Structure 1
Amino acid sequence: MPSQLAAIGRSAQIQGRVIYALLMREILTRYGRHNIGFLWLFIEPMLFTTGVTILWTLTQSLHGSSLPIVAFALTGYSSVLLWRNMPGRCIGAIQPNLALMYHRNVRPIDIFLARILLEAGGATISFMTLSLFYIYIGWLDPPVDVLVVAGGWFMIAWFGAGLGMFLGALSEKSELVERLWHPISYLAFPLSGAAFMVDALPPAAQKYALYVPMVNGVEIVRQGYFGDQVRVHYDLLYMLTCCVVLTVLALAQTAVINRGITPE
């Protein structure tokens, strides 16, 4: 038993080093060493979120709650960047990295995980930085319960990671996945809970809105941020089930493409 644990520990260390190396490679490949380099990792999502916040503020958008538009936009659009960017980066990720498959310790799952961690890290740093900045200038109150915010954020990230890995594996079998994902991701934005509160919907529509997994995560984040200021609706067990099912499907499809890959 101790020898088995030691072997698992060594395998985990190797896996960690491989993912770290792929992560650094991805940062240098995508952002380079010039200009502000890897800072674009979180400045880019910050610019997107800030732009949407300003646009919603100028247009006096209605969002079905008493929350300030800045707070609403931050919690909503940041969550969109979290789950939507992961599939976008995982789809088509294997082909540009086929040469790396000559190394026996590099597998498709490592490439997926490196890209998922990069996107999750960028979105999380952006969300935290903007939150602290808005709190500092008085546009936003501190979160009521940081742990609930973190829990909701983790669930959204888990969903995005499972979806990204699953679609990334499927994209190695068909080009249609990449072509269909872009319009689907834009159509999913208004359904994701970023631009509305479930409580503002008609009672008959609320239960259908909660069938969209991301809506549950956004509602949890807003509960942690605003507490009793808002009335939230979510089904944690349903979202947990969706994440587990997606993860199992993603791992199964990744194992399938791993057997069929021929390094170039």
Structure 2
Amino acid sequence: MTALPAKTPRNRRLRSARTILALMLREMATSYGRSIMGYLWAIVEPVAALALMTVVFSVFLRSPPIGSNFPLFYASGFLVFNIYVDVGNNAARAVQYSRPLLEFPAVTPLDTILARFLLNFLTHLMVIAIILTGIIEIYDLHQIMDFRKLILALVIAGGFALSIGVFNCYLFVAYPSYAQIWAILNRPMFIVSGIFFLFDQVPQPFRDILWFNPIVHIVGLMRAGIYPTYEANYVSVTYVIGISMVLSLIGLHLIRRYLRDAMNL
């Protein structure tokens, strides 16, 4: 009898990669339709929504705290904040969305989370590129950007959103009402994450309290990448990565030990 090939780590990685790609294609087909226009609308819609919000807020806040263009200042904070909210929530709901597929041995909960995260994160990166390019071209801004800081901000924003998704995945399944509680708890984050103001301008002792908000660091790094004169010395990439790793480890433990039982409730 011919022996079956052993399941090497490389084979498992390839199988997982194929599974994630298949899940991403399924997500695109079900969420955006089977035509390219469905996916394009997923890009155009947030661009149009942000443009409308920018116009509304710029009427009341004509002079941004840094730079001379309010739409650029607003976008520099809102875009990474939206990664945290939208990508994190979509990743957290991945198991609920792909629950029937988890009956197949080839599909794991982590595969569904990674697939949904990658698709949504890549979509947001496209939206960010379109919006920033559009603002610079429309307003004829001669903006010199630090792309190293800009890319780093987007990477840690994605990593933090993924950690939020992994952490909340089990909780969303085991406690359905927790999703509403999480949404309520996140409403003040839009105000206290530095979207409309600079962290440096917050008076004490509130500045020391806001420092513990990881989004403040991501927004600050994003602005340091867009505005080369803005130093953002308060930003701690290590702090954000540390928070992300802790949340991910806790979430992975909950998924491995308790998720299957929660799904059978």
- Normalization by structure 1: what TM-score? 0.89
The whole-number CA distance in structure 2 between the counterparts of 1:62 and 1:190 is 18
Relative distance call for 1:162 and 1:59 in structure 2 (3 A) is same
Q: Which residue of 2 aligns with 1:236?
A: 237
For residues 191 and 48 of structure 1, the distance between their equivalents in structure 2, rounded to whole angstroms, comes to 21
Residue 86 of structure 2: aligned partner: 85
Gapped regions of structure 2 (runs ≥ 5):
1-5
Structure 1 residues without counterparts, runs of 5 or longer: none
Shift of 1:72: 0.8
Residues 216 and 236 in structure 1, CA contact (< 8 A), matched pair in contact too: yes
- Residue 47 of structure 1 corresponds to 48
Q: Contact 1:45/1:126 (CA < 8 Å) preserved in 2?
A: yes
CA drift at 1:230: 6.0
Which amino acid counterpart does residue 188 of structure 1 have in structure 2? M
The 5 Å alignment of 1:63-78 reads 64-78=65-79
What does residue 185 of structure 1 align with?
Answer: 186
Counterpart contact for 2:24–2:116, Cα < 8 Å: yes
Partner secondary structure for residue 228 of structure 2: helix
Q: Is the 8 A contact 1:18 1:105 kept in 2?
A: yes
For 1:130, the equivalent position in structure 2 comes to 131
**Corresponding position of 1:251:** 252
Change (3 A) 1:188 1:109: same
Q: How many residues align?
A: 259
Note if contact 2:223-2:230 (Cα within 8 Å) is conserved in structure 1. Answer: no
**1:154-193: per-residue Cα shift (whole Å, max 9, x none)?**
1111111100121122111111221112222222111122
Kept in 1: contact 2:24–2:115 (CA 8 A): yes
Report the 3-state secondary structure (helix = DSSP H, G, I; strand = E; otherwise coil) of the residue aligned with 1:254. Answer: helix
Q: Aligned to 2:56, what secondary structure does the other structure show? A: helix
Distance 1:247 1:55 in 2: 37
Match of 1:142? Answer: 143
More displaced stretch, 62-71 vs 77-86:
62-71
CA RMSD of aligned residues (A): 2.3
Overall identity of the aligned pairs, in %: 21
Give CA-to-partner distance per residue, 1:21-42, whole Å, 9 cap, x none: 1111111111113582111332
Distance in 2 between residues matched to 1:230 and 1:71, nearest whole Å: 17
CA separation of 1:140 and 1:112: change in aligned 2, threshold 3 A: farther
Equivalents in 2 of 1:130, 1:228: separation in Å? 21
The question of 1:112 aligning with 2:83 is answered no
Deviation at 1:109, TM superposition (A): 1.0
4+ long deviations beyond 4 Å: 229-232
